[in-house]
Amino acid sequence: MVRQRIEELRRQLEEHNHRYYVENAPTISDFEFDSLMRELQELEAANPQYADPDSPSVRVGSDLTTEFRTVRHRFPMLSLGNTYSLDELHEFLDRIRRETGREPEVVCELKFDGTAISLTYEHGRLLRAVTRGDGAEGDDVTANVRTIRSVPLRLRGEGWPDYFEIRGEVLMPYASFDRLNAEREAAGEPLLANPRNAAAGTLKQLSSAVVARRGLDCTLYQIAGDEIPFATHMAGLEAARGWGFKISDKMRICRTTAEVDDYIAYWDKARRELPFPTDGVVIKVDDFALRRQLGFTAKAPKWAVAYKFKAEQALTRLVSVDFQVGRTGAVTPVANLEPVLLAGTTVRRATLHNAEQMAQLDIRPGDNVYVEKGGEIIPKITGVELSDRPADSRPFVYIDRCPECGTPLVRYEGEAKHYCPNAGGCRPQIIGRILHFIRRKALDIEGLGEETVELLYDNGLVHDASDLYDLRADELAPLPRLGEKSAENIVRSIRRSTEAPFHRVLFGLGIRFVGETTAKYLASHFRTLDALMAATREELIEADEVGEKIADAIRDHFADAENRRIVERLRKAGLRFEAEAREQASDALAGKSFVISGKFRDHSRDEMKELIERHGGRNLAAVSGNVDYLVAGENMGPAKLKKAEKLGIRIISEEEFTALIAGARTVQADRPATDDAVSGNEPAGEKIPGGNGRDDDAPRQGELF
């Protein structure tokens, strides 16, 4: 009975997911859906013998970090030729007619502004998801793509090939993008420029749980395979829709140049009402036989082209320039504009980035300026209408003092922005650091928004993050908009934050250039805050994801007496400054010291280091006489190799390292659980069997770009 109920819940949730994310036609409320999901999760937790990697419950992703394997595309993902000119588009259509001797039907479809993806299905189940990469090889991002609700893990209906690929675009809808930027703004982080970059960056997150929370979508637009049972592009996509894929309903068959022009003209305006970004129209020959006749160039198919929409511009007056100070002290100029309608929204402000850009544009208050939306989202000034400039206009003089505290600004070598160095006395910097400390990905203190933090600071209750742990409910309750219940909840959340793991505490300290992922690497590598604070520049650079810039920022942060004082107060408050102890798997490496260097095939460097510690060994950051083994991967530093050889240290490969612990009983448990089918087994650089008399490296039928 339990298994039957689990299967029934999975079936229901898969159906509701499809209705909500693919058909946009939900039939139950969010509350009802969540109730079914909770029941399934509880049953699966109590009955692990019925686990299924394709269960709807796994769509939340995992907090385990993974690195991405490189996979060779079975069918190359070629680029598209593109044009901004209708005349050039007409020439493309005329060439198609001349070379085929007929008036072929073409499919017009929206050009989605996201990141390209190739999904492979075998026996009706998602096998692998790979990014475009360089067109020949891409990154295996299967774990992340499995969290995207519009991607089917198992196909519906019937008639699908036993093995095929389907290509498309991973998108970040405007609603998800706006929510993500709102969270970043509240945390004092720089805003993401556009949904396209946000989608690409999200897809390469090391934590699939982060991907799941960001609300990506996926629309598919081409089937690829050796035995595709369709004669036309449109027929294949209509079939794919029935298999459960999200296929655009905006496609249209066009039979004349005029129909193509009408389609483009319509969507050049109507695209502003869409919930996701588009940047053009793709025109493809529908008939597969004609595609084969037309063939390919070295980089692109000759049967398709992309017409790119021109960015919408508006002319308005620059009223004034404000300057904002972030938590790191970075000063950003912001243009205040006379309100103007642009891409469906009213624009009043636009970023000016830095002094260099302002000088390059020679922008001055009172100018009439051209504004467009970068990536259709972030307004930016692209030029000045010089013919409207008054004769007595004077060049803009960039500020040399902080607009908040009056401290002389500095500009660091290699950076375009100016900075206020008064970290301890500049109000927006102090408040920004506290907001960063309490954000969800750091200490996750609930009830403290920006207004409340400003209230606490202005009333002298907090001057830095460590003061939060001295707050009492009776101090907070009398403040405006709080009260006893809110005050008690805030204090309770502050106390609960002492349970946050070390890597989140480290992220919350707000060290320049140390983001969430880098904090995880540092916590895993150094294990304790004391070890991190004592690390030399060379030792810091040995950690994954840490280069010279980040290493210098870490050393500068902890060299500051005020930052060290805050650390000691946080230590007394009970925050965790040490990574959780790892479960010992064996003593196979007991008494041995290792240095890991280079890139490895089967393990990330962090996984190698964890294996060493779990089997009794010790990780060292630098080559010295205390090292027993140097585990050498690809692209390791020649200086390190030379020093190891000079000291007589044994240099071993990844395979030899694995052999050292081969007798340990839980070696395999240390590695991430993978299915051979999703690990990317095609060897990099291996030629694809032709099978049809063509050159092995030439594009094959059914491929996508």
Which tokens is 237 given?
């996509």
Beta bridge partners of 330: 419
Do the Cβ atoms of 169 and 117 come closer than 8 Å? Answer: yes
Q: What is the pLDDT of residue 90?
A: 96
Dist. CA 225–CA 161, nearest whole Å? 9
Distance, CA of 442 to CA of 557 (rounded, Å) = 18
Q: Looking at the structure, do residues 50 and 126 belong to the same domain, yes or no?
A: no
Given 111, 284, 417, 520, the catalytic residue: 111
In the predicted model, what is the mean pLDDT of residues 454-468?
A: 95
Within a domain: 359: yes
- Whether residue 563 sits in one domain with residue 481: no
Residue 78 is assigned to a structural domain of this protein: yes
Model confidence pLDDT, tens digit, residues 355-387:
998 999 999 999 999 998 754 456 889 899 999
Active site residue 111: yes
Q: What is the mean pLDDT of residues 40-59?
A: 81
Choose the final residue of a domain: 290, 308, 326. 308
Question: Residue type for 155, please?
Answer: L
pLDDT value at 704 more than 60:
no
Domain match, 54 and 118 both? no
Most confident of 228-232, 471-475, 615-619, 701-705: 471-475
pLDDT at 694: 31
**Do 90 and 139 belong together in one domain?**
yes
Inform me whether the pLDDT recorded for 698 exceeds 50: no
User: Residue 34: its pLDDT value, please?
Assistant: 67
For the chain, the farthest-separated pair of C-alpha atoms sits apart, in whole angstroms, at: 85
pLDDT tens for each residue of 425-454: 999 999 999 999 999 889 999 888 888 999
Residue 700 has pLDDT above 50, yes or no: no
Residue 95, in any domain of the structure = yes
- In tens, the pLDDT along 121-148 reads 999 999 999 998 878 888 899 999 999 9
Residue where one domain finishes, among candidates 254, 277, 308: 308
Q: State whether 215 and 188 are in the same domain.
A: yes
- On the question of pLDDT at 660 being above 80, the answer is yes
Domain match, 295 and 243 both: yes
Residues 55, 53, 59, 113: is their CA dihedral positive or negative? negative
What is the rounded distance in angstroms from the CA atom of residue 288 to the CA atom of residue 263?
A: 22
Residue 696 within a domain: no
Cβ(326)–Cβ(332) below 8 Å: yes
Same domain, 545 and 561: yes
Say which residue, 190 or 331, is predicted with more confidence. 331
Q: State the amino acid at position 276 in one-letter form.
A: F
The pLDDT of residue 687: 26
Long-range contacts of 525-531 (CB under 8 A, 24+ apart): 525/606, 525/609, 525/619, 525/621, 527/578, 527/579, 528/502, 528/577, 528/578, 528/579, 529/502, 529/505, 529/567, 529/577, 529/578, 530/577
User: CA dihedral defined by 520, 521, 525, 531, rounded to 10 degrees?
Assistant: -60
477 and 366 in a single domain? The answer is no
**Residues 101, 240: one domain?**
yes
| CATH, residue 634 | 3.40.50.10190
Mean pLDDT across 170-188: 84
Based on the fold, state whether residues 377 and 508 are members of the same structural domain. no
**Domain-embedded: residue 83:** yes
Name the pairing type of β-strands 115-122 and 163-171. Answer: antiparallel
pLDDT at 705 over 70: no
Which two three-digit tokens encode residue 572? 């007394």
The helix (H) or strand (E) run that includes residue 382 is strand 378-384
d(CA 686, CA 697) in angstroms, rounded, equals 10
Question: What CATH number is associated with residue 367?
Answer: 2.40.50.140
| Residues 314-345: tens digit of each pLDDT | 899 999 999 999 999 999 999 999 998 876 56
Please state the φ and ψ torsions of residue 540, each to the nearest 5 degrees. -65, -40
What does 93-126 look like in DSSP terms, one character per residue?
Answer: HHHHHHHHTS---EEEEEEE-SEEEEEEEETTEE
**Percentage above 90 pLDDT, the chain:** 49
- Asked whether the predicted pLDDT for residue 691 surpasses 60, the reply is no
| pLDDT above 70 for 188 | no
- Answer whether residue 684 shows pLDDT above 50: no
pLDDT of residue 608: 86
CATH of the domain at 484: 1.10.150.20
How many domains is the chain built from?
6
What is the per-residue pLDDT for 581? 72
Kindly tell me if the per-residue pLDDT of 681 is higher than 70.
no
Chain centre to alpha carbon of residue 137: 19
> Given this model, what pLDDT does residue 242 score?
95
Range scoring the smallest mean pLDDT among 30-39, 197-206, 361-370, 510-519 = 30-39
Cα–Cα distance list, 277 to 177, 195, 271, 353 (Å): 10, 7, 8, 23
For residue 423, tell me if it sits in a domain: no
pLDDT at 107: 97
| Mean pLDDT estimate for the chain | 85
Whether residue 158 sits in one domain with residue 117:
yes
Cα–Cα distance for residue pair 292/80, rounded to 1 Å? 16
Q: Is 83 left (phi over 0), alpha (psi -120 to 50) or beta?
A: beta
Q: What percent of the chain has pLDDT over 70?
A: 88
Give me the mean pLDDT over the 218-228 stretch.
90
**Mean pLDDT for the stretch of residues 104-131:** 94
Banded model confidence at residue 272, pLDDT cuts 50, 70, 90: confident
Helix (H, G, I), strand (E, B) or coil at 341: strand
Q: What is the mean pLDDT of residues 477-499?
A: 93
The residue that leads in pLDDT, 185 or 506, is: 506
The answer to whether residue 402 sits within a structural domain is no
Taking CA atoms, 577 is separated from 171, 431, 507, in Å, by 38, 23, 12
Mean pLDDT on 285-306: 90
**Does 261 have pLDDT greater than 50?**
yes
Last residue of a domain, one of 387, 416, 434: 387
Q: 432: exposed, middle or buried (C-beta count within 10 Å: 0-12, 13-18, 19+)?
A: buried
Whole-Å CA distances, 150 to 21, 171, 207, 288: 5, 11, 19, 27
Domain that holds residue 659: 593-665
**pLDDT score for 378:** 65
Query: Same structural domain for residues 129 and 233?
Result: yes
The winner for highest mean pLDDT among 20-24, 135-139, 187-191, 633-637 is 135-139
Angstrom distance (rounded) from CA 284 to CA 294: 12
Burial class (CB in 10 A: 0-12, 13-18, 19+), 274: middle
587-591, 632-636, 696-700 — most confident range: 587-591
For residue 231, the model assigns a pLDDT of 93
Q: Quickly state the pLDDT bin for 99 (edges 50, 70, 90).
A: very high
Identify the band that residue 675 occupies on the pLDDT scale cut at 50, 70 and 90: very low
Beta bridge partner(s), residue 383: 370
d(C-alpha 65, C-alpha 545), whole Å: 13
For the domain that residue 128 is a member of, what is the CATH number? Answer: 3.30.470.30
| 90-94, long-range: CB < 8 A, 24+ apart | 90/257, 92/283, 92/305, 93/257, 93/260, 93/283
Please state, in angstroms and rounded to a whole number, the distance separating the CA atoms of residues 426 and 135. 48
Which residues have C-beta within 8 Å of that of residue 615, sequence separation ≥ 6?
Answer: 584, 585, 586, 587, 588, 589, 590, 661, 664, 667
Is 429 a domain residue?
Answer: no
Residue 24 reports pLDDT greater than 70: no
